[in-house]
Amino acid sequence: MNSRIATIPILICTALLAGCGGNERLGLDSGSPTASPASAAPTVAAPPFNLAGRWTLSATGAASCSMTLGAVQDATEGTIAPAGGCPFNFFTSRKWTYSEAGLAIRDHNAQVLAQLMPAGPSRFEGKTTSGQAVALSR
């Protein structure tokens, strides 16, 4: 009976120690690129300036309108509240995202309406998905 009681702690310690030092077998040693998954994720740069606030969307040969972009400082995405009279289908604008490709304005179905690039301080220029030139400025 005493030998059974003495065997239980040894078995528990053996089981616990069996899990130690197994990272090399799994490719998770400290020199492996998979050791830190957060460092492998690509970084997305913040917009060149804070996008929150009131903007004017304009297009050649069309009416302009105001859009209020919502965001926190250095955000890479936010909301859009378009005012009435927006050209083309920008009245459906609901979200913006910023990436290496520039500023994307998206509709209520998350479809891209326009892709814009920075064109100076507080200004973006680009095209709608159907090819119309548009600008967003303060």
At residue 11's C-alpha, the angle toward residues 6 and 12, to 5°, is 105
Joined together, the tokens standing for residue 11 give: 């078995």
The overall average pLDDT reported for the chain is 79
pTM: 0.66
Phi-psi region of 53 (alpha: psi -120 to 50; beta: other; left: phi over 0): left
The 10s digit of each residue's pLDDT in 20-44 is 555 444 444 444 444 444 444 445 6
* Alpha helices in the chain, H assignment, sequence order: 2-18, 23-26, 37-40
Both tokens of 90, joined, read: 């920008």
Q: With 90 as the cut, is the pLDDT of residue 74 above it?
A: no
DSSP-assigned letters across all residues of 7-38:
HHHHHHHHHHHHTTT-HHHHT-STTSGGG-HH
Residues 138, 133: Cα–Cα separation, whole Å: 17
Domains of the chain with CATH codes: 2-40 (no CATH), 53-137 (2.40.128.10)
Q: What confidence tens digit (pLDDT) does each residue in 89-135 have? A: 999 999 999 998 999 999 999 999 999 999 988 999 999 999 999 99
Number of neighbouring beta carbons within 10 Å of residue 31: 6
Cα(108)–Cα(52) distance, integer angstroms? 19
Is residue 84 very low, low, confident or very high in pLDDT (cuts 50, 70, 90)?
A: confident
Note the pLDDT of residue 32.
Answer: 44
Reply yes or no on whether the pLDDT at 14 is more than 80.
no
